[in-house]
Amino acid sequence: MSYRLFTRSTDRFDRPQIPLDRRDRPWLGGALLVGLVVAGLYLALNEYPAYGAGLYTLTADEIRAAGYGLPETIPHYTAEGVPFAYPPLAFYALAVLRDLGAGAFAAARFVPPLVVVLALVPAYLLGRDLLDGRLRGAAAAVLVTVNPQVLEWHISAGGLVRAPAFLLALSGAYAALRIFRDRDREWVAVGLPLFALVLLTHPTYALFVVVTYLVFWAGYDRSLSGLLDGAVVGVGGLVLTAPWWLTVASRFGFDVFTSAAGTHGGVGGGLFAVLSGVSVWSLLVLAAGAVAVLGGWRVIGVWLLAAEFLFAQPRFAYTVGAFAFVGAAVVLVDRSRSWWPAVGEHRRKLAMAALVVVATAGVGTVGYEFDERTGDTTPAFVDDADVQAMEWAGTETSPEATFVVLGDAAEWFPVVADRTILLGPWGMEWREPATYERHLGAYVNASTCQSAGCVERWTPSLEQEPDYLYVPKGHYTVRGFDQANFGTLDRSLANRDRYEPVFENEGVVVFRVRDVGDGGSGAGGSGATGNGDG
């Protein structure tokens, strides 16, 4: 089966054509419909975006403030701020949305699901051409869109960056397939800008594209000309993005890139994760890959192993695993025909029925996971009480006031309150791994404290003393995991002369931190007292 974007030519590029025709419409349309249902479920069950995108939003706002230049530092995330070494493409897109009036929470809630649905197009194309069938392509796309591990990091607030990177990475993988398996050299002209775009979006997804190119070249091509085609894509992408990474290197040195690579599992982090223990779900994915290899899809098996062992984040292995599961299903059905002839006679009808069942069950599963009462896939970092407390901080404290915010609401605090947090891991990977680990450890431990003494044990490492301490009440999250404070911590703090409650509502208490012996006049902020009732 052949689907060409370009008419084959040896001496010139012909007019490009979309690699889809009328026969793809029902299959791609069905997959997109499932994706839209999943997106609708997420929006219906999540009043606030899952996880956080405060740093992303503030970065976009700093780009706007710089007249769409490249800011050097993003303020408010610790006293020193965050070096802006992150690939900038998604932030520029978000800056445009912000200039058009998009709110911080609205953009983080609505944009990622939309981009996830768009990513099903290259997922379908990959499945169709890898597995040689439109029904198989639709099945692979459906498995991608109903996998909670894949959705968790793309449909949530962080999907402002990760979802576009996911879309571009899958598109780049499809270009690699056409370059190396189909020997369509015209696809180099497509793969090169796609690789440049993913380089400008997210470093881990760029590495995933590089790994995919290497696997597909080794599995399908293995020729010198194919290797050169891949080199054109890789080197060309680096050249096109040079204005960005050379600017960053001139400001912070090339070490800033290696420092960031040493966090979040680093390269090869998946191997260390496997050595520390493999989940049942990972074993199922690997088993599907093994079965697919038996059916002749060896490249899918190698691609899956690379995704499993090179990346600490399981979303990459689960994405490749979607193609492996479809391949495994095809192999099992083919093998079953020898002892169950009816399967062969009604194979297509059975496959379509199975796809409907899988899609229905998958939608039900993700709906269960999206509901905060039953699942933990999409936890919100903030609620109405947090937003009210942050807005109070933004109007009733000095612009120079500093805060220690306990719990995951800290990630959103700087963009909503326009105030500085002194403790938090967000963006610290761009300083150095030791700084990231120090902030991460202190943040997690302080946020799970149940006494004033515990908090004070974890905050001395800060660059300076905070002016305010923000304490969540009831249920809240720390790194996405549920925690609870039913008054133990705030009572412990209130019993210390050092802490004066200045704001309280049903979900948050804010304490002003007094200097020892200052007689109650704090160094930072207005000393205003408020409550949730205004």
Do residue 110 and residue 143 come from a single domain? yes
Q: Percentage of residues in the chain with pLDDT exceeding 90?
A: 76
pLDDT band per the 50, 70, 90 thresholds, residue 265: low
pLDDT value of position 534: 38
Inter-residue contact 48 to 109 (CB < 8 Å): yes
Tell me which of 370, 397, 428 is where a domain ends. Answer: 370
Do residue 492 and residue 444 come from a single domain? yes
4 occurs within a structural domain: no
Query: Burial of 22 by CB count in 10 Å (0-12 exposed, 13-18 middle, 19+ buried)?
Result: exposed
1 occurs within a structural domain: no
Do residue 454 and residue 484 come from a single domain? yes
Do residue 145 and residue 39 come from a single domain? yes
In this prediction, residues 36-63 reach a mean pLDDT of: 97
- What is the signed CA dihedral for 155, 159, 165, 169, rounded to 10 degrees? -20
pLDDT at 341 over 80: no
Do residue 425 and residue 467 come from a single domain? yes
pLDDT at 526 over 50: no
> What is the Cα–Cα distance from 378 to 366, expressed in whole angstroms?
10
3-state helix, strand, coil in the chain (%, to 5): 60, 10, 30
Comparison of pLDDT for 487 and 241, the residue scoring more: 241
8 occurs within a structural domain: no
15 occurs within a structural domain: no
pLDDT value of position 516: 61
Q: What tens digit of pLDDT does each residue of 316-335 get?
A: 999 999 999 999 999 988 77
Mean pLDDT value across the chain: 89
141 occurs within a structural domain: yes
Do residue 109 and residue 179 come from a single domain? yes
pLDDT band per the 50, 70, 90 thresholds, residue 456: very high
Do residue 222 and residue 154 come from a single domain? yes
Beta bridge pairs of residue 504:
509, 531
Choose the weakest-confidence range: 43-47, 142-146, 310-314, 378-382: 310-314
Do residue 277 and residue 418 come from a single domain? no
Residues 6+ apart with CB under 8 A from 280: none
Q: Which of 135, 113, 112 is nearest to 124 (CA)?
A: 135
pLDDT band per the 50, 70, 90 thresholds, residue 12: very low
Q: What tens digit of pLDDT does each residue of 139-184 get?
A: 999 999 999 999 999 999 999 999 999 999 999 999 999 999 999 9
> What is the Cα–Cα distance from 269 to 306, expressed in whole angstroms?
11
Beta-carbon count within 10 A of 44 CB? 11
Inter-residue contact 502 to 494 (CB < 8 Å): no
Q: What's this model's pTM, rounded to 2 decimal places?
A: 0.90
Q: Which two tokens stand for residue 16?
A: 């490009």
pLDDT at 439 over 80: yes
Do residue 251 and residue 285 come from a single domain? yes
494 occurs within a structural domain: yes
pLDDT value of position 333: 82
11 occurs within a structural domain: no
> What is the Cα–Cα distance from 442 to 37, expressed in whole angstroms?
40
Q: What tens digit of pLDDT does each residue of 66-119 get?
A: 999 999 999 999 999 999 999 999 999 999 999 999 999 999 999 999 999 999
pLDDT band per the 50, 70, 90 thresholds, residue 16: very low
In this prediction, residues 55-59 reach a mean pLDDT of: 98
Inter-residue contact 380 to 49 (CB < 8 Å): yes
Residue count of the chain: 534
pLDDT value of position 256: 84
If phi > 0 it is left, if psi is from -120 to 50 it is alpha, else beta; for residue 253 that is left
pLDDT value of position 527: 44
Choose the weakest-confidence range: 29-43, 132-146, 428-442: 428-442
pLDDT at 54 over 60: yes
Q: Which of 422, 416, 370 is nearest to 401 (CA)?
A: 422
Do residue 323 and residue 401 come from a single domain? no
pLDDT at 267 over 90: no
The single residue listed with the structure tokens 């004066």 is 500
Do residue 197 and residue 275 come from a single domain? yes
pLDDT at 443 over 80: yes
In this prediction, residues 339-348 reach a mean pLDDT of: 65
243 occurs within a structural domain: yes
pLDDT at 8 over 80: no
pLDDT value of position 5: 41
How far lies 277's CA from each of 100, 315, 319, 321, 363, in Å? 47, 17, 20, 19, 29
Q: Percentage of residues in the chain with pLDDT exceeding 70?
A: 88
Q: What tens digit of pLDDT does each residue of 414-423 get?
A: 999 999 999 9
> What is the Cα–Cα distance from 387 to 458, expressed in whole angstroms?
25
Do residue 142 and residue 203 come from a single domain? yes
Total number of domains constituting the chain: 2
Tell me which of 370, 395, 427 is where a domain ends. Answer: 370
**Residue 510, H or E segment:** strand 508-513
Comparison of pLDDT for 373 and 162, the residue scoring more: 162
Domain holding 388, by residue range, is: 384-531
Q: Which two tokens stand for residue 162?
A: 């990760």
pLDDT value of position 420: 97
Comparison of pLDDT for 268 and 482, the residue scoring more: 482
